[in-house]
Amino acid sequence: MAADSSLMPPCRKIRKGEPNPNHSGSSGMEEPQDADYPYVPQLCDDIERLILARFPRSEYWKLNFLNKHFSHVLKSGELFKLRRQIGFKESSIFMSASGGNCWWAFDRLFKCCRQLPELPSRDVCFIGGDKESLCAGSHLIVSGREFTGCNVVWRFELETSKWFKGPSMIDPRCLFASATCGTFGFVAGGVEMGLHGVEVLNSAEKYNPEIKSWERLPYMHKKRQLCSGCFMDDKFYVIGGKDENHKELTCGESYNKDNNTWELIQDMLKDDDNPVAKRQSPPLLAVVNNELYCLETSSNELKVYLKKTNTWKKLGAVPVRADLHKGWGVAFKSLGNELLVIGYSSAIASSNRNCNCNGMTIYTCRPEVKSEELQWRCVEGYRDRLNFFLLNCCVMVA
């Protein structure tokens, strides 16, 4: 009986010096070789990419050093598109804590860490000045000011593991609110250094990493700087900050992508027990399971926003000293279904108030709105690579 051809491995051309599987014995050898490798059919491109799409993204950068084929697959961006299609997402934390152009990337569990290539800017003002960051898709966006006074944007692309300059925002800004939704990055408010001096903005923009461009959004109701942003209920929220007269704002605004409009929310940060005027940094906000949390910088206390009553509920103390620098130098982020906070440990500060040692402490917890006391877990590792004052921190989900 003839063999079923559908069960036979695909044929390929026999190269010189390679044994012919159709012949037996040494007569099939045109030239000698050092080893006899069994024939293994190659995977088709679709199956290969499906396997790589499930490969830990924190290890993707190693594909660049495997061979040209895998490097090309990574740089094409196809793996990230496929990950989105199959719903396979992974969180990474990007931090800059040592000044200059040094950035570190951590996996979600802080078990894997690598230093990114040095940001290639040689502008001394950009290197030593304040910078702001956000993530959009597989791009890390870093915004800062150069010696000329102009605000510039640098982006780090995971596909190529390289930095690129631009594209600049439509309205170059600093001290703005930002948030990520899917593959898009959103910014709003802030300060623009123009020909006529400093201008507080009420403009907003959306960054699309696939076409590497910014798109203007409708203007907000209020001009605001030193504000914070987040995504909740599928809306872009911009909360708090100061207006053009340096007056503290307790209101918030939400941008609805479906009807392309902003809604003003009065007294969103109003708290009679702890006035908003005490907040020096932008509000420290994070959204987990579609609930909004705030780290109060003057009391080191965690609060959750009650949407129905437009009020805040206290959930107890957070184990870091956010009050040491009035909220600056502390990271408070959402990490999947957990809250992430990075800062100087309150336990160390309590035991030694005169301690000037460096070292960040990382904590996570799974918050519950109805809980009376939250359980924080201390994450070990890489403390020696980050100093006490955290300059930038953002979370990428891709």
Domain ranges of the chain: 41-88, 119-270
Q: Which pLDDT belongs to residue 113?
A: 87
Least confidently predicted of 62-76, 232-246, 335-349, 377-391 = 377-391
Question: Span 166-171, mean pLDDT?
Answer: 96
Provide the pLDDT confidence category of residue 42 given band limits of 50, 70 and 90.
low
Provide the pLDDT confidence category of residue 382 given band limits of 50, 70 and 90.
low
pLDDT greater than 50 at residue 29: no
pLDDT greater than 70 at residue 49: yes
Least confidently predicted of 39-53, 190-204, 322-336 = 39-53
* Cβ atoms within 10 Å, residue 132: 22
Phi, psi of 350 (to 5 degrees): -70, -35
> Which residue would you say has higher pLDDT here, 369 or 356?
369
Least confidently predicted of 17-21, 152-156, 304-308, 372-376 = 17-21
Provide the pLDDT confidence category of residue 344 given band limits of 50, 70 and 90.
confident
pLDDT greater than 80 at residue 328: yes
Q: Which pLDDT belongs to residue 35?
A: 45
* Cβ atoms within 10 Å, residue 274: 16
CA–CA gap between residue 306 and residue 299 (Å, rounded):
20
pLDDT greater than 50 at residue 136: yes
Phi-psi region of 333 (alpha: psi -120 to 50; beta: other; left: phi over 0): beta
CA–CA gap between residue 176 and residue 35 (Å, rounded):
62
CATH superfamily of the domain spanning 119-270: Kelch-type beta propeller (2.120.10.80)
pLDDT greater than 60 at residue 132: yes
The pTM of the full predicted model, rounded to 2 decimals, is: 0.82
Q: Which pLDDT belongs to residue 181?
A: 93
pLDDT greater than 50 at residue 182: yes
Residue with tokens 């593959």: 183
CA–CA gap between residue 339 and residue 315 (Å, rounded):
13
CA–CA gap between residue 121 and residue 306 (Å, rounded):
44
Q: Where is 49: in which H helix or E strand?
A: helix 45-53
